[in-house]
Amino acid sequence: MTQRSLHVEEIRGLGVADLDVEIVERKGKGHPDSLIDGASEAVSLGLCDYYLKHFGAILHHNVDKGILVGGKSEPKFGGGRIISPIYLMVAGRATELVPFKGRDVEVPVEEIARESIRDFIRQTMRFLDPDKHIMIDTKIKQGSRDLVAVFMRTGTMPVSNDTSIGVGYAPLTPTENLVLSSEKLLNSPTFKKKYPEVGEDVKVMGLRRGKKLETTVAAAMVGSKIPDASHYVSVIEDVSEELDKLASRERLDVNFKLNAADNPKHGEYYLTVTGTSAEQGDDGNTGRGNRVNGLISPMRQYSMEATAGKNPVNHTGKILNALAVLTAREIVKQCPSVKESYVRVLSRIGKPIDQPLIASAAVVLEDGGKVSKVNSDIESIMNDSLDDIRRVTNLILQKKIELF
């Protein structure tokens, strides 16, 4: 077994679910921050696919710098129009000239990037046309050619290309579960079929005080699917009932407030043309949205590292955050006395990704639990996770782990 710097400690006190106050946020898939995260990740996945097909390996790239500048629209009941398009730009580095089989092969990086973004938008948004409503730009420059040979090596552990922190926790609290499941309900295919009026830009903010959970939901409504104000109000009422049904499964007293800024007396409604506030001047930045588990939980330990767009082979800013979440879940699963688990992993540039400077677990234990009784089990779980760290790359390529 590889010798690693492992650490386990107990967090004494209350778990997050037992605190008097808990605040949790989820930005839905159509939120501007989620859209630019998705665009950056789509470019990375598009490049990965091309590199694998043509060279048999994922080559060096990092396209985790992105910005979305909101456009201008004029929504109205029964329709509306886009006045000026959204501007979306992804920047970074990628291998575009590959020495392969005795010749230099050029990779159409910009073409791959822009088509990957278009495909992502088409798959994510029903009414946002990437050809009509978005000005797509890319600024991706050639990375170091010296890294090509490093990435082409097989059978060797990749070397960390950054000194980065990965943090993950488990399990989700009832509040976190409800915030996450609320957005996923509203953006599910079944729900969209039943309520096509609800756009993809959904934001959920939960505030729990004791056992009472006050949840504010902002859902961009699609004007072309809503003929008048009475229809809008009817849909809001129906969607609120659907959320109440979802909440009834939790042991919390939940109150949902949907589109709290609406003011019918003054004719003010959350209407959009395309289903996202990005059409109305709301901007987005890669890394500003949800963390790896799909939530923004300020009561928790987590990393501010942007994961979307980083290469999934040796960029520890991506890999270690995903690994930490998976490992924290495994600790809770295998150790019944662990009530809450946090995993913190720190890499050092130039070292193999499976040999971090430290892999540290901090746990909240059930009453009567002792850290001495779980220490070796937790260290074993962390060791196993690091031994199998390259599976994280496959999970990312298969979209089996939520990155934002």
User: Does the pLDDT at position 224 exceed 60?
Assistant: yes
Residue predicted with more confidence, 57 or 156? 57
Instruction: Give tens-digit pLDDT for 246-294.
Output: 999 887 899 999 999 999 999 999 999 999 999 998 999 999 999 999 9
pTM, to two decimals: 0.95
What pLDDT sits at residue 213? Answer: 97
User: Number of H helices and number of E strands within the chain?
Assistant: 9, 17
Count of domains observed in the chain = 1
Residues with Cβ within 8 Å of residue 263, at least 6 apart in sequence = none
What pLDDT sits at residue 22? Answer: 98
- Integer Cα distance of 170 and 330 in angstroms: 9
Q: Which of 232, 202, 231 is nearest to 217 (CA)?
A: 202
- What's the mean pLDDT in 25-40? 98
Answer positive or negative: Cα dihedral of 262, 268, 272, 273: positive
Q: Which of 111, 117, 116 is nearest to 96 (CA)?
A: 111
Q: Is residue 164 part of a domain?
A: no
- Integer Cα distance of 5 and 359 in angstroms: 6
Task: Read off the DSSP letter of residue 366.
Answer: P
What pLDDT sits at residue 152? Answer: 72
What pLDDT sits at residue 30? Answer: 98
Instruction: Give tens-digit pLDDT for 75-88.
Output: 999 999 999 999 99
Q: Contact at 8 Å (CB) between 215 and 23?
A: no
Q: Contact at 8 Å (CB) between 249 and 102?
A: no
Instruction: Label residue 287 left, alpha or beta by phi (over 0 means left) and psi (-120 to 50 means alpha).
Output: left
Q: Is residue 186 part of a domain?
A: yes
Q: Is residue 384 part of a domain?
A: no
Q: Is residue 246 part of a domain?
A: yes
Kindly report the CATH number assigned to the domain that includes residue 279: 3.30.300.340
Instruction: Give tens-digit pLDDT for 290-307.
Output: 999 999 999 999 999 999
* Number of CB atoms found within 10 A of residue 174's CB: 19
What pLDDT sits at residue 75? Answer: 97
Q: Is residue 323 part of a domain?
A: no
What pLDDT sits at residue 65? Answer: 97
- Integer Cα distance of 189 and 196 in angstroms: 10
Residue predicted with more confidence, 338 or 147? 338
Q: Is residue 215 part of a domain?
A: yes
Domain hosting residue 221, numbered range: 19-27+173-285
**Coil/strand/helix, residue 146:** helix
Task: Read off the DSSP letter of residue 268.
Answer: B
Strand-pair partners of 86: 134
Strand-pair partners of 363: 10, 341
Q: Contact at 8 Å (CB) between 24 and 183?
A: no
Q: How confident is the model at residue 100 (pLDDT cuts 50, 70, 90)?
A: confident
What pLDDT sits at residue 251? Answer: 79
Q: Contact at 8 Å (CB) between 303 and 321?
A: yes
Task: Return the structure tokens found at 240.
Answer: 């609120």
**Mean pLDDT value across the chain:** 95
Instruction: Give tens-digit pLDDT for 51-66.
Output: 999 999 999 999 999 9
- What's the mean pLDDT in 145-152? 70
Q: How confident is the model at residue 156 (pLDDT cuts 50, 70, 90)?
A: confident
Q: Is residue 178 part of a domain?
A: yes
Task: Return the structure tokens found at 103.
Answer: 């010749």
Q: Is residue 184 part of a domain?
A: yes
